Chain A
Amino acid sequence: MDKKYFKHGKAFKTVVDDDNVKPVEDLSCLTKENVGVRNGVEFDRSEEVDSEMKNELSKDGDFKNGTKLKEGTRTKKFECQETTLRNPSNTRTYWAALLLLTILSLVTRLHNIQLPKHVCWDETHFGKMGSWYIRRTFFFDVHPPLGKMLIGLAGYLTGYDGMYPFEKPGDEYGDDVNYVGMRIFCGLLGAALVPLCYMSTWLLSQSTLAAFFSGLLVLLETGTLALSRHILLDPILLFFIMLSTYSVLKFLSYKDDPFSLQWACWLCLTGMSLSAAIGVKFVGLFVILLVGVTTILDLWRLLGIKSNTMVDLAKHFLARAMCLIGLPVVMYMVIFFIHFIVLNESGNGDGFYSSAFQSQLKGNKLYNVSMPASVAFGSVVTLKQRRTGGAYLHSHWHLYPEEHPPRQQQITSYTHKDENNKWRVKPSDHDVMEGEEPQIVRSGDLVRLEHIGTRRNLHSHREPAPLTKHHFQLSAYGSNGTGDSNDIWVIDIPGSPVGTPIRTAKSKFRLIHYYVRCAVCSGDKKLPKWGWEQLEATCNPNLKDTNTLYSVEEVEDSRMPNSSFELYSPSFWEKFLESHAVMTQGNSNLKPKQGEISSQPWQWPIDYKGQIFSGKTHRVYLLGNPVIFWVCLAATGLFLVVYLVASVRRQRGVRYTEVWRDYQDRMFVACWWLMLGWAMHYLPFWPMTRILYFHHYFPALLFSAMMTGVTLDFLITLLCVSVPESLTVTIFHTCFGLVLSSILYSFYLFHPMVYGMSGPMATEEGSQMHGLRWLSSWDL
């Protein structure tokens, strides 16, 4: 390596340049400058510095010589000062490294991908759901559909017929099951992560060394590798997250050329990959936040450029709003539209959805039924609570037990369809005569509800409910349809005037007790054995509770004309909203079951514990490469220390040369941005109460790995310029070699976790992995 380069490098260290120190009377001026830097206006600053740099480069002959060096990736970053951002092609090393990483990535991801020849871990879910797309059967999952749709598509294209049941992990794939196509699809997306990380890091740091380190860390990270080799949503999710990251950075690199074709293309691609990311899993929301913050900072930069008129700014704003908000929203809806179109046959997911929704699915009981469109006095109805997963109002021949007096007949909420869910609607003061003209039930009417099975009336009184003590007890009272004045209920349709007729399946109403002023309500509490573990039904004195809304699901009345249920078929919009409500509920219900060990966020960055993917003879264990995890952790800490020291020095008026300052600023901005990405993908898991798994950490890990690449580059450069000139080349090579070899060696040590371990467990002598169980928490 040329000495001259480092000669110049020496000059980086120029400490307090007395002539250069600003007069400090004006403190506010200094602080203002600093606030600017910390607020992330760096984009602006680096632009200014860029032009300064160019001037300096032309002046500084020495440095020009330095840029001509071929050897070592590190000189690239200075060469690149001269090249424009969007044209890295003139640097051969850049392409060589990219090519190398891509090929290695493909090799590692696709090597022996057909193994293990059995269902691994969550393949049982996602393989199954992919099959359901091919079979067009409706199902329910807590994640949005895109990932499974793509898996289904990949399977369909590679000749998988969708008939394999994917029953449980460990099931052997038969010879006729074309599962490899789906695995290769996931593997390819997983393989794309390495070049994407490489290119993103380059865009941020303009250093091939940093980019190479990032790519290498992702390439040899065993956890990412294991995730990429199976039919899972994670490789797809990670791919779209990285694609969003890359395209937004690429978009930002065209900041000097706004509204050009490439600029617009990358902007649109960002929007599309964002919607794809959230279309796979809701975790994609975090990358949307990251891109959102980045865009706001970018707009802030534009706002600071005085040559931009308000019209320019408005154009910039609208373009971003359209491509980053409008386009993704439309695309997200299109995904759901396709989802509803493709899945048109009844399956095991029906029960999660409302009756109107179910009536759309071929093979469902409600498909194409017809029943009266409104309710008349004398009709027999079932009442379903209006919330997702709401149950039917139910009664049966059993009394409340002694400890919950009075001992009247139980009223419960029952989730299944049953004869005992049926009630007859009667006027409050008389019985319905035979042959009488049917009279429509309207809001404001006083009614009695007679239970068909036991001929007792729905009743309430000021007695505490069995579980929710501040509600009142609901009971069934009377005999053969006669009861007392506590059986009278008022029908109230909130938001509609008195006299609105009740429409089957459509109207939401409350049943309010005429005397006690409480409304029929049902929560999530399960009654004990005496109540057959059905849900508790109560009379809630808080009339505004949303759990008090009911609707009529089925009506039987021979006197009324039937109308087809088609009338109530939900629009796309309603289906879209309902499926989201169901997914949200499903997600929040994913609480760790007792005894199930939920992974905890603090364990993730330290690689505390992995996940067993396959436990048979060919064992696969999802565990991050511990060396890489710990290097990432150390790099984060080191960066913070270095940053603190550098900021204090700057605050104390220590000045650097323009070249060094520019380099340092760029590296710091890159690190902060990546750290933001890491934090946004990691910290939100801390307060989550849902069940968490180790694999939730991997989006954050990618950002962490990229940051580590940048930090390593910075640290090595710092070291090189700090030692005497004669040592710089040696030091550089030593550091580079050390990092490279230790990462490669760690991969060599831990690769059997991904490609399959066999033989005894690592705790025993003679195991393949013996001695590698560095933490006692690993189940190797």
Chain B
Amino acid sequence: MEGESRGDVNPRGDVSPHGDVNLHGDVSPRTQPEPKRVEGDGSPRPSSLDESKRNPQRGQAKPFSIKFEVDVIQLVLTIAAMATRFWLLGLPRAVVFDELHFAKFASLYMKKIFFFDVHPPLGKMLLALVCGFCGFDGDANFNRIGEDYPVTFPVYQLRMLPALLGSLTVPLAYQIAVELRLSRWAALLAGACVLLDNALLTQSRFMLMEGMMVFFLCLSIFSFLKFRNLAHREFSIRWWFWLCLTGVTCTCTLSIKYVGFYTALVILTLMIQDYWRMLADIRISDLHLVKHLLVRILAVIFMPLVIYVSLFYVHLTTLTKAGPHDNVMTSGFQASLEGGLAALTKGQPLHVSYGSQITLRLTHGVVAGKPCWLHSHQHVYPVRYPDGRGSSHQQQVTCYLFKDVYNWWIVKHPARESLVVDDPPQPVKHGDVVQLVHGITSRALNSHDVAAPMTPQNQEVSCYIDYNVSMPAQNYWRVEIDNRDNDEDTWQTIKSHVRFVHTDTRQALKATGKQLPEWGFHQIEVATDRVVVQPGTVWNVEEHRFTTSPEKEQQARELASTEMIPLKPTHLSFWTKFFELQTKMLFSRSDIDMEHKYSSGPLDWPFLTKNTAYWMSSTSNAQIHLLGNPVIWYSASLSLFIYLGLLLIYMMRRRRDIFDLTESEWLHFVFIGELLIGGYFCHYLPFFLTDRTLFMHSYLPCLIYKILSLAAVVDHIYIISHRFVYAGTTVSGVCLGLVASMVWAFWKLAVFSYGNANLKPEDIQSLTWKDTWDFLVHTNH
């Protein structure tokens, strides 16, 4: 095998990760059972470009010689990619589209302020790393798209990272095609498509995640292919390297955006398939197979998990200060951050006791992730609701979105009148029955068989007023601690997640999430619900104080007594924080149905029906849009159909015992489909099931797969076309035409990637190639 000999002979020849590239067009299949592939079996590969370099390599196999190999195609592609990505990189010096978020997140990293985002942290961390190198202090003051960056903001440097990774995607696409054993020309086509696609260009020129994600995605495919092609040299250093790199890059991809998971899934499936085929080889001993299995589990499951968790470890240990998104998290999480809630709750008593004054926060926020606190005020429920139902006409109890003096409650022992803390304080335990007395109005929390105002199937909660009518007080609540270790646990500030179960009706106190109308000041409705175990019924004490000097009994209380007061600020273990953050990230959904002018759906993507506006100059018609190169998008989409059509034809003909391809060609053809077409659909189809607002940049991973499959299909057609007279020439001609029109379309639409030209309205009109594209024109109204 060629790879082996070169490895022995040329120990220091690897000048770059891509340096040991096989320069020959005719890569021999290595894993296939029939290792011989006859060259010139109707498919003479167009490798004239490399022909000149073939001889030196084989001839000068001397020890200690240093050879320097350069793949000209790759070099040209890389340079061209750098040129297109870096040109005018610092312009516009204004916030472009989602840079609004990502630039801000990067600066929050610099200031160590905690923030919440539904995407995992790697992409933002990398940006922050760049910030760190530039010595940027994190002062980012901008609030909307189009606003100018502050002068200190390292715009150019920050954009350099995505631009660099975006540029490297181009040679990587070329290398993937090479590893897929496509001809050099087909590989060049793949590289050129990535180079010339305006959408990929735009996305990698700004501080956006997709450009970086696509790079890691390509790298993971590349290393997987490298690993797969080294199957004959198992457990060699290179084999280990590419195997581990596969695991690492898969993790990186999904740590930038969770959609990267689908690529990991495809790669994992293909690995399982390879392993399955290995099982059939009974010359391999069982022990050896187990070894292979363990190694794979280690590299692609265990190691990625460790990396993923450690990313979050870094994330959580870096971001230690309270910030704007604290509210999304539970009180415990907030209290573990410096400043914010921690400052407020530091030094407050730990155990809630009879007589404690507390505020109760709904642990898992209800309204668009906002927190709310149990609240009451003098106003009463209206006697009749518009739909004719009556109420108890007692004092309203609500959940209020802001901190307020009316949020304070006193825990009272049902059998005693005292509202002050005993000495020593008597802590409340799991299962104890308490009354909750509203601090300012001194009325007790009560529930009874009256329909709640907004959700009539639930029971109303009120603060009891004795009207001397048939409605006796029902104000006993059993405290159930959700996260207790044993049944003897006491109720702790911040930490304990508590449910209040109404003793008479066995229903739990719940914030229903619905806003009350005007009479309830648009606060959130509170009721009791028969279903006790649900997220809406979990509360926790946020602020807590002991009654220091009750008016009646003028005795000051010795509060600083020993273990009652936490000396250290609340400390949550990493795992608690990690799992809370994970749950919030994976399951938080924005309740607000955001309608956006430039949002689009999965059906708009394959044929580039829509564009997304990223930025518009405030003074001229210069503008930046996310808009693909239509020639590439159309031809690549077409290639998917061609592939599927060919596959069906081949399969049916094979079923009839007509073999158009040799066995190895057929396996290769199927493998390409599994990787590329499979990858495409794995990334594409799930979007039909999401009900979030989607934008076109979600399609970019699919685009990469689509471009690679275009190259593969062109390569395949070129090979089979040699069976027909003139067909080969026709295919070459068509390809040339295709590339020429790609370049032309790229050139025409490049203004929307660079945003460097003040377009006249008629220019914009002439560039609106599809009616559905929507560009902006400044009007002088």
The chain A residues found within 8 Å of chain B, CB to CB, are 21, 24-28, 30-32, 34, 300, 303-304, 306, 462, 468, 470, 544, 594-597, 648, 651-653, 687, 689
Contacts and interface: CB of A to CB of B under 8 A. Distances in A.
Given A24-B280, A594-B514, A687-B689, 19 more contacts: A21-B282, A24-B281, A24-B282, A24-B283, A28-B33, A28-B34, A30-B280, A31-B280, A303-B652, A304-B656, A462-B781, A468-B595, A594-B512, A595-B458, A648-B279, A651-B280, A652-B279, A653-B282, A689-B691
B597 interface: yes
Contact of B282 (A31, A596, A648, A652): A652
B455 interface: yes
A570 B342 CA distance: 70
A470 B774 CA distance: 14
A21 B281 CA distance: 11
A677 B43 CA distance: 45
Contacts of B283: 24
Contacts of B781: 462
18 contacts: A21-B282, A24-B282, A24-B283, A27-B281, A28-B33, A28-B34, A28-B663, A31-B277, A31-B280, A303-B655, A304-B655, A304-B656, A470-B595, A544-B772, A594-B454, A595-B455, A651-B279, A652-B282
Given A303-B655, A595-B458, A27 B277 contact: yes
Given A470-B597, A595-B457, A595-B458, A306 B279 contact: no
Nearest to B527: A595
Nearest to A653: B282
A25 B655 CA distance: 24
Interface in B644-675: 652, 655-657, 663-664, 667
Taking each of B456, B655, B667, which has the highest tally of chain A beta carbons within 10 Å of its own beta carbon?
B655
B368 interface: no
B32 to A, nearest CB: 8
A594 B525 CA distance: 13
B7 to A, nearest CB: 25
B276 interface: yes
A31 B458 CA distance: 61
Interface string B443-461: 0000000000011111000
B473 interface: no
B531 interface: yes
Contacts of A597: 531
Nearest to B34: A28
Contacts of B595: 468, 470
Contacts of A468: 595
A689 B689 CA distance: 10
Contact of B33 (A27, A300, A595): A27
Contacts of A470: 595, 597
Taking each of B282, B458, B667, which has the highest tally of chain A beta carbons within 10 Å of its own beta carbon?
B282
A346 B276 CA distance: 65
Contacts of A28: 32-34, 663-664, 667
Nearest to B688: A687
B512 A595 contact: yes
B590 to A, nearest CB: 16
A24 B657 CA distance: 23
Nearest to B454: A594
A689 B690 CA distance: 11
A600 to B, nearest CB: 12
A25 B283 CA distance: 9
A462 B456 CA distance: 42
B135 to A, nearest CB: 41
Nearest to B652: A303
A306 B655 CA distance: 9
A26 B279 CA distance: 14
A306 B282 contact: no
A303 B656 contact: yes
Task: Name the interface size band of chain B.
Answer: 20 to 34
Nearest to A301: B655
Interface in B436-495: 454-458
Contacts of B689: 687
Contacts of B281: 24, 27, 30
Contacts of B656: 303-304, 306
A30 B655 CA distance: 17
A721 to B, nearest CB: 24
Contacts of B32: 28
Contact of A26 (B33, B277, B457, B512): B33
Contacts of A21: 282
A25 B32 CA distance: 11
Interface in B277-318: 277, 279-283, 286
A304 B655 CA distance: 5
A544 to B, nearest CB: 8
Query: Which 3 pairs of residues, A with B, have the shortest CB-CB distance?
Result: A27-B33, A595-B455, A651-B279
A525 B283 CA distance: 69
Contacts of B34: 28
Given A27-B277, A28-B663, A306 B657 contact: yes
A313 to B, nearest CB: 9
A96 to B, nearest CB: 43
Contact of B280 (A27, A595, A687): A27
Contacts of A544: 771-772
A666 B385 CA distance: 66
Contacts of B514: 594
B455 A594 contact: yes
Nearest to A689: B691
A689 B688 CA distance: 13
Interface string B204-226: 00000000000000000000000
Contacts of A648: 279
Interface in B246-297: 276-277, 279-283, 286
Contacts of A32: 663
A21 B140 CA distance: 71
Contacts of B286: 652
Nearest to A16: B282
A26 B656 CA distance: 22
Contacts of B282: 21, 24, 652-653
A265 B579 CA distance: 59
Interface in B26-41: 32-34
Contacts of A306: 656-657
B520 to A, nearest CB: 15
A470 B457 CA distance: 37
A301 to B, nearest CB: 9
Nearest to B513: A594
A300 B280 contact: no
A711 B340 CA distance: 59
A26 B281 CA distance: 9
A595 B459 CA distance: 12
Nearest to A32: B663
Interface string B674-700: 000000000000000101000000000
Contacts of A30: 280-281
A25 B276 CA distance: 17
A595 B657 CA distance: 61
A269 to B, nearest CB: 29
Nearest to A467: B595
Taking each of A30, A31, A648, which has the highest tally of chain B beta carbons within 10 Å of its own beta carbon?
A31
Interface in B411-447: none
Interface in B585-626: 595, 597
A687 B691 CA distance: 10
Nearest to A687: B689
Nearest to A541: B597
Contacts of B655: 300, 303-304
B595 to A, nearest CB: 7
B589 to A, nearest CB: 12
B700 to A, nearest CB: 24
Contacts of B664: 28
Taking each of A27, A594, A596, which has the highest tally of chain B beta carbons within 10 Å of its own beta carbon?
A27
Contacts of B457: 595-596
Interface string B84-103: 00000000000000000000
